[in-house]
Structure 1
């Protein structure tokens, strides 16, 4: 059984995030990258420009990567920190190449992806991007969900590692224009290749431009254990046990 440091759970509760290195081996990373390279990129869920390559619904579009991702070590780590009952609800792959000069402004992840739009009390506003519906759910869902970012490259301040406001997840909805910089202090979160960053959706975070000509490839996976109201369904609900990693 994989043993997790109890401090990781404490950090997620108090700060809204934790970085854990050495979760994936170099061989597992190579297998994931091989699966991505061998995938047909012509679908609408793929976006490829000079400064970004992204795959929405990543686990569905690149199923051959699932076994390497959901290793017994990875799934045991999740259960050790959060307990049982969680399932995947969203997955995206980001490739920020060396020439990339885009940045991500301060924000919280306030929306979830759902299969169809339905007018349900407590859910809204709605958005749609590339035929994918997203909606802001009740706060109890956002407070219980978590995200894991799997790093396939070393990430630091020079190639867009996330910067966060520790503890900001405890402030519920926190608008970027209301950030009080006299009391807030941003923190850069470097992660080694093969490491992960776990974060709560309500954690305020941002990302700088790449300035060191190094790539940054990340797999972003969101988890929940809550069934949605009023007939709404998650767009990518998947049980981790179905991937049967080793």
Structure 2
């Protein structure tokens, strides 16, 4: 079973695994989120989006639920040892959301400070968080797990991807040749996960079916950064 998922990740840049979390585990995560202090700058609240950056730090009670035996086994079997968390975000896209995300790759990592280093750049700062594009080999080895707390499909903004685009380095959206590329929608049931490489081109449509979409987005790496900078959110598994 895991062999086919590994092949999907290698060839297509993503895979979907269902039934990683029970209904009780989903409810436990949502309870921790409801009880969190939302006054921090890492919480973003609007009519179309509720998001929590540095999610595992802000809502630490979720960690034991998220890293259950099933997920730990999946990570070990697909990627081996040595990985750690480097970024975590929670997205709640409400029923009335008109929010969408254009085609892009996840080209930056979060670090603790800005230092000019060979191979690192450009730099950005968002909500007092430094982000930088690292050398390509780091992005090629990183992976992201998206944990779905609601069913996601074409109607409520499930992720669209371009299979195989993770193998093409930095792939600017404006240069996509839609005569050669195809897109597919990654439908995932509540309790399931989508695993993807950060260089996979992905996008998300507006919600059209009045259904919510709550997702936890967790990025993993095993890269050692130059001694001048550190991972901003590093957490051991």
Q: TM-score, normalised by structure 2?
A: 0.99
Aligned partner of residue 235 in structure 2, secondary structure: coil
Whether the 8 Å contact between 2:2 and 2:77 is mirrored in structure 1 is no
Alignment-derived partner of residue 243 in structure 1: none
SS of residue matched to 2:61 = helix
Partner Cα separation in structure 2 for residue 233 and residue 5 of structure 1 = 32
Give 1:191 deviation, angstroms.
Answer: 0.3
State the Cα RMSD in Å. Answer: 0.6
* Secondary structure at 2:230 match in 1: coil
Gaps in structure 1 of 5+ consecutive residues: 241-246
CA distance in 1, matches of 2:178, 2:211: 30
- C-alpha distance in structure 2 between counterparts of 1:42 and 1:174, whole Å: 37
**May I ask how many residue pairs the two structures share in their alignment?**
237
Structure 1 residue matching 2:87: 3-state secondary structure: strand
Q: Which runs of 5+ in 2 are unaligned?
A: none
Q: 1:1-246 maps to which residues of 2 (within 5 A)?
A: 4-240=1-237
Runs of 4+ in structure 1 off by over 4 angstroms are none
**3-state SS of 1:95 partner:** strand
Does the 8 Å contact 1:164/1:204 carry over to 2? yes
**Aligned partners of 2:230 and 2:20: how far apart in 1?**
31
CA distance in 1, matches of 2:155, 2:81: 37
Contact 1:87 1:225 survives alignment (8 Å): yes
* CA offset digits 1:48-92 (Å, max 9, x no partner): 000100000000000011110011111111000000000000000
Partner of 1:244: none
Q: Distance in 1 between matches of 2:36 and 2:135?
A: 36
User: Matches of 1:231 and 1:93 in 2, distance apart?
Assistant: 29
Q: TM-score scaled to structure 1, two decimals?
A: 0.95
State the SS of the aligned residue for 1:227: coil
For residue 5 of structure 1, report the CA deviation from its aligned partner: 2.4
Partners of 1:53 and 1:156 in 2: CA distance: 19
C-alpha distance in 1 between matches for 2:224 and 2:233: 13
- The answer to whether the 8 A contact 2:140-2:197 is kept is yes
Deviation at 1:230, TM superposition (A): 4.0
